[in-house]
Amino acid sequence: MIHFAAALLAATLLLPGTAAAGADRFAVVIGANQGGPGYAPLYYAEADARRVADVLGQLGSVSAEHTTLLLTPTVAQVQGALDRLAGDVAHARSQGSEHVTVLFFYSGHAEPDALKLGRGALSFDDLKAGLERAGADVRLLFIDSCYAGAATRAKGAARAPGFLRDASAEVHARGEVVITSSAADEASQESDEVGGSYFTHYLLSGLRGDADANADGEVTLDEAYRYVFHRTVAHTAGTRAGAQHPGFDYDLSGSGDMVLTRLDSKGAALRFDASQAGRFLVFDEDRREFVAEVQATPGRPTRLLVDAGSYRVQLRDPEALFEQRLVLSDGGEASVDRQAMARVPYSEDATKGAITRVRRQASGKEVTLAARIGVQGFFDPAIRDSLVPPMVLGGLELDLRGLVAPALSFRAEVLLGGRRFAAQVQPSVSFEADYVQLVGGVGAYLSPAVPGARWLRPFAGVRLSVMWVQRRFLPTGIMEDQFYVGGAPGLAGGVGLAWSARSGLRLEGRAHGSFWVTDDKQQVQGYAEALASVWFTL
């Protein structure tokens, strides 16, 4: 056990908050909700991965340029990321970096000897070999999956927390530490209550400050591991799957400074003074997600590092929920006060909506609202010159995705457009006219997932529009106003580009054949539309 303590001590030498001059840190963070055929989808693996990347960036001094975040990647994409990591480490060496630390995090499904990535699998041996090829001095792996303990099977993972004895030396560390969410024969569990996996939830809560047992403003790797171990075991002991025991393995030499995160980093802070007691959940109002958990105990103050923003802090009792809302500016602090909390019925718990949204997204179900703008033009020159001139349209679209099948969505839209145009009503007669067009449409679209590219959303579908057009001649009264109504089936296709988890850009092209009755004659006229939309997940 003391050997593990020394190993943890060594691993922390170049970790966030203690990096010396000439040191660099890199992170590869992976979340995979989908494990391929035969695996039930996870709900929180990708959300957990995003949260880990955020904490490493905020508190860990791991820059965005040195962080690779992969969501539901393929095996080839992970191997490509490891290859690029080797190039980045080599570049850092060429720029004078004396020590390099690599942090690897994975949340998702696993087989007994491999990470499950869609229809493929990456063996633990290949993963560790790829990280070793990168040439870093220290490799720290966090693996949150069922059978995670198998990643340490070659040496055997310990199933108890480590104990540190001395942190005075500053000898450069070399080697590898693996920390797993469970033993090789145990399931790793997700929780709706905390909106993530137990292991990652407590890892992040600890790194943000709740693991700072001695309240010195620093979280060591040993403190973090002790915290994760005890919290995970305690909160899984009563679940149907049974207690989950985080484990570790190491192969390191050297020892050094043991700080993993410093709590004086940029951002804001929530303070729980020594008089507070109870289990507090911290909820980000702006991002609509859980941030951390604090187990406050009398006599032990806690400082929790978060981003600037609006927060809801909850204390849960059997009969009711107690909440306090706080707004934090960058660099600011606020105190959590049990006496200032308002009693809220569980039926009004806003966190339920956030959990529902995350579960819906993870299962492929999604509701989005889009603001749209585009152009429309008829193919027939005579129609363009008289009945319906080219015009700009704008409006809203509602998209319901995954209600029937993961790749199938249903869309409904309303568009409005208009323009003034010199209409030719007879070969030698033309009048200016104001045109107004109202379009309503519904459609069914296939939007298959692109493995390893959740930001890319191609789609194709069929739709039906109803077009209403008014033509009012100028000057008013020179001719009677005219109205046209026509149905228009059509085909559509395009691509969506997600610039965040909840918003993005959609580009669409479509062609329709419209049915008109003019001069007592049935006509079919074709037209095309090109539209751009900015969408937001509801």
Helix, strand, or coil (residue 351): helix
Under 8 Å between Cβ of 133 and 82: yes
pLDDT in tens, 189-238: 766 666 778 889 889 998 998 888 887 878 877 888 888 888 888 877 76
Architecture of domain 2-262: 3-Layer(aba) Sandwich (3.40)
Q: Locate all alpha helices (DSSP H) within 274-415, ordered by sequence.
A: 351-362, 381-382
Give start-end residues of each CATH 2.40.160.20 domain in the chain: 364-537
Under 8 Å between Cβ of 514 and 468: no
pLDDT level of residue 69 (50, 70, 90 thresholds)? very high
pLDDT confidence of residue 375: 95
What whole-number distance in Å separates Cα of residue 395 and Cα of residue 399?
A: 14
Query: What percent of the chain clears pLDDT 90, i.e. is strictly above it?
Result: 23
pLDDT confidence of residue 535: 92
pLDDT in tens, 246-266: 877 766 565 544 567 777 766
Under 8 Å between Cβ of 435 and 470: yes
What whole-number distance in Å separates Cα of residue 412 and Cα of residue 390?
A: 23
Q: What is the mean pLDDT of the chain?
A: 79
Give start-end residues of each CATH 3.40.50.1460 domain in the chain: 2-262
E-only strand ranges, 36-192? 67-71, 99-107, 110-111, 114-117, 120-123, 138-144, 174-180, 190-191
Give start-end residues of each CATH 2.60.40 domain in the chain: 268-352
pLDDT level of residue 474 (50, 70, 90 thresholds)? confident
Architecture of domain 364-537: Beta Barrel (2.40)
pLDDT confidence of residue 414: 96
Helix, strand, or coil (residue 477): coil
CA separation, residue 495 to residues 51, 71, 255, 454 (Å): 27, 19, 52, 12
User: Which helix H or strand E contains 124, and what residues bound it?
Assistant: helix 124-133
Tokens (6 digits) for 289: 């997600």
Instruction: Assign a CATH topology to domain 268-352.
Output: Immunoglobulin-like (2.60.40)
Mean pLDDT within 420-437: 76
Q: What is the model's pTM?
A: 0.67
Residue located via tokens 């690779």 = 68
What whole-number distance in Å separates Cα of residue 441 and Cα of residue 466?
A: 6
Q: Write the single-letter amino acid at 531.
A: L
> Which residues, at least 6 apart from 405, have a Cβ–Cβ distance to it below 8 Å?
none
Find residue 343's DSSP bridge partners: 322
Q: Is the peptide bond before 406 cis (omega within 30 degrees of 0)?
A: no
